[in-house]
Structure 1
Amino acid sequence: MNQKILRQLEFDKLKDMLLTKAATSLGKDYVSRLFPSTDLEEVNRLQQETDEATQVLRLKGNVPLGGIHDIRPQIKRATIDGVLSATECLEIASTIYGGNQWKKFMSTLEDEELSLPLLDELTEHITSLPKLEQAIKGCIDDYGNVMDGASSKLRTIRSQIRSYESSIRDRLDGYTKSKSNMLSDAIVTIRNDRYVLPVKQEYRSSFGGMVHDQSSSGQTLFIEPQAVVELNNKLQESRVDEQREVDRILVELTQFIKEDASFLRTNVDTLQQVDFMFAKGKLAHDMKASKPKMNNQGIIHMRQARHPLIADGEVVPNDVELGADFTAIVITGPNTGGKTVTLKMVGICTLMAQAGLQVPALDGLELAVFDHIFADIGDEQSIEQSLSTFSSHMTNIVEILNQVTSQSLVLFDELGAGTDPQEGAGLAMSILDYVVERKARVIATTHYPELKAYGYNREEVTNASVEFDIETLQPTYRLLLGVPGRSNAFDISKRLGLKDEIINQAKGMVREDSRSVENMIASLEESRKRAETDYDVAEQRLKEAEELYQSLSQEYQHYLSNKDQYLEKAREKASKVVSKAEEQAEEILTEIRNMREEAGVKEHRFIDARKKLSDQKSELEPEQKKPEKKSKESREFHPGDEVHVLTFNQTGHIVQKVTNKEYEVQLGIMKMKVKQDQMEFIKRPKQVETKPLSTVKGSNYHVKPELDLRGERYEDALNRLDKYLDEALLANYHQVSIIHGKGTGALMKGVQAYARNHRSVKKHKFGTANEGGTGVTIFELK
Structure 2
Amino acid sequence: MNNSLQLLDFFVIRERLAEHCSSKIAKELAMELEPLTNGVDIKTALDETVEALHSWQQEIEQPLSGTRDIREACSKSRKEIVLTHDELWDIYVTIGAYKRMYQFFTTKYMNYPLLSLWIQDMPRHDGLERRFERIFDKKGNLMDSATPKLQNLRSTISKTKDRIKNDIQEILHNPDNQKYFQEALVTQRNNRYVIPVKQEYRYAFEGLIHDRSSTGATLYIEPMRLVNLNNDLQEAMMAEEEEVRRIYKDLSLAVRKESNSLMDACECVSHVEFVYGKAALALKMKANPAELSGGREVKLLNARHPLIPPNAVVPTTIILGKDYKILLITGSNTGGKTVAMKTLGLLSLMNQAGLCIPADSGSILPIFNNIYADIGDEQSIEASLSTFSAHMTQVVSILKAAGPKDLVLLDELGSGTDPEEGSALAVAILEYFRKRGPLMMVSTHYNELKNYAYHTEGIENGHVEFDERTLRPTYRLHIGVAGSSHAFSIAARLGLPREVVDYAKQQREGAANSDMEQVLSDLNEQLRRNQERERKLKKELEEARRTRTYVEREKKKINDRRKQILTKAQEEAQNMKQSIRVESEQIIKQLKNQFSENDKDKRQQAITNARKQVSGVNVPDIEFEKREPVKPEELKEGQTVFVTSLNATGTVRAIQGKRIQVEVNGLTANVKVADLALASREEVNNLRRKQEAVQPKPRKRAGGSAVERQKHATTELNVIGQTVDEANQNVGHFVDQAIMAGISPVRIVHGKGTGALRAGIHQYLKTLPHISRFEIAGYDEGGAGATIVYLK
Q: Report the TM-score range of the alignment, normalised by the length of the smaller protein.
A: 0.7 to 0.9
Is it true that 1:280 corresponds to 2:278 in the alignment?
Answer: yes
1:393-448 per-position Cα deviation (integer Å, ceiling 9, x unaligned): 22222222232222221111112222111111122222222222211121111122
Q: What residue identity is the alignment partner of 1:30?
A: L
What RMSD, in angstroms, separates the aligned Cα atoms of the two structures?
Answer: 3.6
Q: Secondary structure at the match of 2:202?
A: helix
Is it true that 1:52 corresponds to 2:51 in the alignment?
Answer: yes
Which segments of 5 or more consecutive residues in structure 2 lack a partner in the other structure?
620-644, 651-663, 669-694, 698-792
Query: Are the structure 2 counterparts of residues 534 and 568 from structure 1 closer, same or farther at C-alpha, using a change threshold of 3 Å?
Result: same
Match of 1:447 among 441, 445, 448: 445
The aligned residue for residue 527 of structure 2 is 528
Query: Are the structure 2 counterparts of residues 177 and 461 from structure 1 closer, same or farther at C-alpha, using a change threshold of 3 Å?
Result: same
1:292-339 per-position Cα deviation (integer Å, ceiling 9, x unaligned): 112474321111100001111100001101111111111111111111
Higher mean alpha-carbon deviation, 85-94 vs 493-502, is at 493-502
Q: What residue identity is the alignment partner of 1:424?
A: G
Alignment check: 8 A CA contact 2:332 2:487 kept: no
Q: What residue identity is the alignment partner of 2:211?
A: D
TM-score by length of 2: 0.71
Match of 2:219 among 221, 225, 245: 221
Alignment check: 8 A CA contact 1:154 1:246 kept: yes
Match of 2:387 among 386, 389, 395: 389
Give the Cα separation in 2 of the matches to 1:138 and 1:299.
Answer: 61
Give the Cα separation in 1 of the matches to 2:207 and 2:552.
Answer: 97
The aligned residue for residue 480 of structure 1 is 478
Alignment check: 8 A CA contact 2:37 2:367 kept: yes
The aligned residue for residue 323 of structure 1 is 321
1:344-394 per-position Cα deviation (integer Å, ceiling 9, x unaligned): 11111111111111111111111122222221222469xxxx998222222
The aligned residue for residue 10 of structure 1 is 9
Is it true that 1:138 corresponds to 2:134 in the alignment?
Answer: yes
Give the Cα separation in 2 of the matches to 1:649 and 1:387.
Answer: 87
Q: Secondary structure at the match of 1:337?
A: coil
1:14-72 per-position Cα deviation (integer Å, ceiling 9, x unaligned): 12221221112222121111111222221111111111111112212651311111112
The aligned residue for residue 600 of structure 1 is 601
Alignment check: 8 A CA contact 1:470 1:492 kept: no
Q: Secondary structure at the match of 1:308?
A: coil
Query: Are the structure 2 counterparts of residues 240 and 513 from structure 1 closer, same or farther at C-alpha, using a change threshold of 3 Å?
Result: closer
The aligned residue for residue 456 of structure 1 is 454
**Residues 97-496 of structure 1 aligned to structure 2 (within 5 Å):** 97-107=96-106, 109=108, 115-178=111-174, 179-295=177-293, 297-379=295-377, 389-488=387-486
Q: What residue identity is the alignment partner of 2:37?
A: T
Offset at 1:266?
Answer: 2.3
Give the Cα separation in 2 of the matches to 1:394 and 1:505.
Answer: 32
Pair member with larger Rg = 2
1:670-691 per-position Cα deviation (integer Å, ceiling 9, x unaligned): xxxxxxxxxxxxxxxxxxxxxx
Q: What residue identity is the alignment partner of 1:53?
A: A
Give the Cα separation in 2 of the matches to 1:612 and 1:115.
Answer: 68
Give the Cα separation in 1 of the matches to 2:414 and 2:133.
Answer: 69
Alignment check: 8 A CA contact 1:24 1:68 kept: yes
The aligned residue for residue 36 of structure 2 is 37
Give the Cα separation in 2 of the matches to 1:579 and 1:120.
Answer: 64
The aligned residue for residue 671 of structure 1 is none
Give the Cα separation in 1 of the matches to 2:161 and 2:500.
Answer: 103
1:637-672 per-position Cα deviation (integer Å, ceiling 9, x unaligned): xxxxxxxxxxx999xxxxxxxxxxxxxxxxxxxxxx
Q: Secondary structure at the match of 1:401?
A: helix
Give the Cα separation in 2 of the matches to 1:491 and 1:201.
Answer: 91
Alignment check: 8 A CA contact 2:105 2:112 kept: no
Higher mean alpha-carbon deviation, 67-76 vs 98-107, is at 98-107
Query: Are the structure 2 counterparts of residues 223 and 508 from structure 1 closer, same or farther at C-alpha, using a change threshold of 3 Å?
Result: closer
**Residues 735-774 of structure 1 aligned to structure 2 (within 5 Å):** none
Q: What residue identity is the alignment partner of 1:16?
A: E
Offset at 1:157?
Answer: 0.7
Which segments of 5 or more consecutive residues in structure 1 lack a partner in the other structure?
629-647, 651-782
TM-score by length of 1: 0.72
Give the Cα separation in 1 of the matches to 2:536 and 2:85.
Answer: 71
Alignment check: 8 A CA contact 2:106 2:120 kept: no
Is it true that 1:506 corresponds to 2:506 in the alignment?
Answer: yes
Query: Are the structure 2 counterparts of residues 510 and 296 from structure 1 closer, same or farther at C-alpha, using a change threshold of 3 Å?
Result: farther
Offset at 1:289?
Answer: 0.9
Give the Cα separation in 2 of the matches to 1:84 and 1:501.
Answer: 77
Give the Cα separation in 2 of the matches to 1:50 and 1:58.
Answer: 12
The aligned residue for residue 771 of structure 1 is none
Query: Are the structure 2 counterparts of residues 508 and 447 from structure 1 closer, same or farther at C-alpha, using a change threshold of 3 Å?
Result: closer
1:221-271 per-position Cα deviation (integer Å, ceiling 9, x unaligned): 222222111111111111111112112221222233233333322221121
Give the Cα separation in 2 of the matches to 1:214 and 1:252.
Answer: 42
Alignment check: 8 A CA contact 1:406 1:441 kept: yes
Give the Cα separation in 1 of the matches to 2:244 and 2:414.
Answer: 74
Offset at 1:625?
Answer: 4.0
The aligned residue for residue 717 of structure 1 is none
Alignment check: 8 A CA contact 1:571 1:620 kept: no
Alignment check: 8 A CA contact 2:330 2:443 kept: yes
Alignment check: 8 A CA contact 2:591 2:603 kept: no
Query: Are the structure 2 counterparts of residues 153 and 265 from structure 1 closer, same or farther at C-alpha, using a change threshold of 3 Å?
Result: same
Q: What residue identity is the alignment partner of 2:421?
A: E
Give the Cα separation in 2 of the matches to 1:211 and 1:572.
Answer: 104
Offset at 1:528?
Answer: 2.9
Offset at 1:277?
Answer: 0.8
Offset at 1:286?
Answer: 1.7
Query: Are the structure 2 counterparts of residues 445 and 183 from structure 1 closer, same or farther at C-alpha, using a change threshold of 3 Å?
Result: same
Q: What residue identity is the alignment partner of 2:272?
A: V
1:177-211 per-position Cα deviation (integer Å, ceiling 9, x unaligned): 22232122221111111111222222222233322
Give the Cα separation in 2 of the matches to 1:479 and 1:183.
Answer: 87
Give the Cα separation in 2 of the matches to 1:505 and 1:255.
Answer: 85
Query: Are the structure 2 counterparts of residues 146 and 406 from structure 1 closer, same or farther at C-alpha, using a change threshold of 3 Å?
Result: same
Q: Secondary structure at the match of 1:464?
A: strand
Q: What residue identity is the alignment partner of 1:506?
A: Q
Q: What residue identity is the alignment partner of 1:86?
A: H
Offset at 1:213?
Answer: 1.8
Alignment check: 8 A CA contact 2:207 2:223 kept: yes
Offset at 1:481?
Answer: 0.8
The aligned residue for residue 78 of structure 2 is 79
Higher mean alpha-carbon deviation, 525-534 vs 116-125, is at 525-534
Count of residue correspondences:
622
1:533-581 per-position Cα deviation (integer Å, ceiling 9, x unaligned): 4543553454345435644664577589879855652343213431564
Q: What residue identity is the alignment partner of 1:132?
A: L
Alignment check: 8 A CA contact 2:180 2:205 kept: no
Alignment check: 8 A CA contact 1:90 1:137 kept: no
Q: Secondary structure at the match of 1:106?
A: helix
The aligned residue for residue 780 of structure 2 is none
Q: Secondary structure at the match of 1:205?
A: coil
